[in-house]
Amino acid sequence: MTAPPIAQSDPFLDELRSILGPDGVRADKPARWNRTRVPAPFPVHRWADYAPDVVVLPRTAQEIAGVVRLANRHGIPVVPRAGATGLNDGAVPLRRGIIVDVKRMNQIREIDLVDRTVTVGPGINMLKLNEELRKHGVMFPDDPASYPCSLVGGRIGTSGWSLIGGRYGHTRDLVISFEIVLPTGEIIRVGDGGGRKIRKSSTGYQLKHLFMGHQGTLGIVTEATLELVPRPEVEFAAFFHYPSFQAAYESTGALTKSGLATLAGVVLFDEWKLRYLRRDDEAYIPQAENVRAVVATAMYGTRDEVKPAARRLVRTARESGGTYLGDEVSQGDWAARHDRYATPLHGRLRTTGQVVPMSWHCEDAAINYSALPQVMEEWHAIADRIIDRYGIFDDWGMFFYTNAAHKPWGDYLVEIDIGIWEQKLDDVNWAGWVEAKHDIAAVALKYGGSITACHGATREGDAELAAEEMGGGFEVMKAIKRVLDPNNIMNPGKYELDTAYDPNAPSPFSGRRTGGN
């Protein structure tokens, strides 16, 4: 479904203004074009194809419900947008239409220190929220690398992953309940139990999880009640180095299987990552050449818990071949975890060694511990292939992060970071990227993994494999989508869900049909 573009003089805009007021509707080019893309790789040469027709800036759930009902009457797509930091294309309006930007819904509505919850609008970020909560000795421990810029609405929209999820859980564990405007305009609340602040119940279907990570295809979150935990007395970070990836991999296994309850996360850096950091990241403190892999660990909790646990952790790392990298690297690098990722902004061409502007992209499969070495080799081989063939990519190495909440041992969020010289994208280079993306996802599935641990798999190259990963579950997903969104207005084009309405629906990408490359 692609509705005809909305002209700037269209009476539809007046209908929107009657719901949101004049300052809540932006149809000017800067407002629309600035909300076309997110940091996920984007075919910049086709920017105009995906620019929304209009942007709305609601303040209440009722306004959003009004917009959604109006959109249904006119058959116009609606796409929620929060911090716009998604590394999928979740907030990109593939079929244009209305962007619902929730940033003005950024209030803290209630802090309940007795039942330990905080209730917020979807437009607040974790940094701002925790600045306020600090005064009360508590925190909301959702801690992605995008901590200062992603918003609660987007965290729910993607079902985000947190760097300290091993200790505290990820977004789905930390959001107790939320209010959501359904695609037909009704406002409902879903959660872990009947009351807004109940964490466990066995009544009915567990609908919270249906509306967690739906990428804006099933509605718009307008309020969320979140978990509060005591602020930790201690954040202990320790980084270790190893003479080989194999040694670091085995040590990672020993550390994560230690059973230490205060362990918040373990991150393994591979050899490609260290080579890249030495070569091109000015913020990295260079290590001696014999350092081939690094493992970062972090523990959170009370002093009485963390002190003895840290001694045990350091002993385990040393006994499994690690050498402590010192306080400066350990504390400095962990403290910079929210700033480091997207900063390099440049990469290097293999052929000439020339330094060129590049943007950062990462894949985020979930893979079992046993398969990490094979996935690493195969992903680097794919990166090698496109670097040689297209000359606009660079391999920035891989990270392996503990993935499961409270159970850090079994599977890992596996990330390969790839630099992309976006200005050089044209149809040929873009097709090369999409093919590589598809191959990376296929490797994850080959080893029994998931395409994505936190970003989502709606992108070109991923979407067709998402249906494969889900097996028969994808038919259930399509049936749910049809029932909840009879007119396919909520974020159409995502996850090949247009095929829920028409098996031959055209793809939103490059004019191809859905269901294959």
Ligand X SMILES: Cc1cc2nc3c(=O)[nH]c(=O)nc-3n(C[C@H](O)[C@H](O)[C@H](O)COP(=O)(O)OP(=O)(O)OC[C@H]3O[C@@H](n4cnc5c(N)ncnc54)[C@H](O)[C@@H]3O)c2cc1C
Residue ranges that bind ligand X, judged by CB under 6 A: 38-39, 79-87, 90-91, 102, 122, 144-146, 150-151, 153-155, 157-158, 160-161, 163, 215-216, 220-221, 341-342, 454-455, 491
Backbone angles phi, psi at 27, to 5 degrees: -110, 5
| Inter-CA distances, 63 with 20, 103, 104, 105, Å | 6, 14, 12, 11
Nearer to ligand X, 6 or 220 (CB): 220
| Min separation Cβ 227 and ligand X, Å | 16
| Min separation Cβ 102 and ligand X, Å | 5
Structure tokens at 86: 């998604």
Nearer to ligand X, 151 or 484 (CB): 151
Structure tokens at 373: 């070495």
| DSSP annotation string for 330-346 | HHHHHHTTTTSTT---E
Per-residue burial over 407-416, b if 16 or more Cβ lie within 10 Å, else e, is ebbebbbbbb
| Min separation Cβ 54 and ligand X, Å | 16
| Inter-CA distances, 227 with 63, 141, 427, Å | 27, 8, 45
Polymer length in residues for the chain: 517
Contact 317, 236 (CB under 8 A): no
| Min separation Cβ 141 and ligand X, Å | 13
| Min separation Cβ 62 and ligand X, Å | 15
| Min separation Cβ 179 and ligand X, Å | 10
**What are residue 120's DSSP bridge partners?**
108, 224
| Min separation Cβ 251 and ligand X, Å | 23
Nearer to ligand X, 322 or 397 (CB): 397
Nearer to ligand X, 378 or 462 (CB): 462
Nearest to 495 by CA among 479, 471, 474, 480: 474
| Min separation Cβ 164 and ligand X, Å | 10
| Min separation Cβ 314 and ligand X, Å | 25
Label residue 470 exposed, middle or buried (CB < 10 Å: 0-12, 13-18, 19+): middle
Largest alpha-carbon pair distance within the chain? 71
**For residues 140 and 128, what is the distance between their CA atoms, to the nearest angstrom?**
11
Nearer to ligand X, 37 or 292 (CB): 37
| Min separation Cβ 385 and ligand X, Å | 26
Structure tokens at 363: 């894949």
Structure tokens at 479: 């049936």
| Min separation Cβ 157 and ligand X, Å | 2
Residue appearing with tokens 């984007």: 42
Q: Please measure the distance between the N-terminal and C-terminal CA atoms of the chain and give it in whole angstroms.
A: 20
Residue appearing with tokens 């007021």: 21
Nearer to ligand X, 128 or 350 (CB): 128
Other C-beta atoms lying within 10 Å of the C-beta of residue 9: 9
Return the SS3 of 85: coil
Nearer to ligand X, 163 or 317 (CB): 163
Structure tokens at 212: 């967690």
Nearer to ligand X, 155 or 241 (CB): 155
> Does an H or E element contain 79, and which?
strand 78-81
**For residues 322 and 240, what is the distance between their CA atoms, to the nearest angstrom?**
5
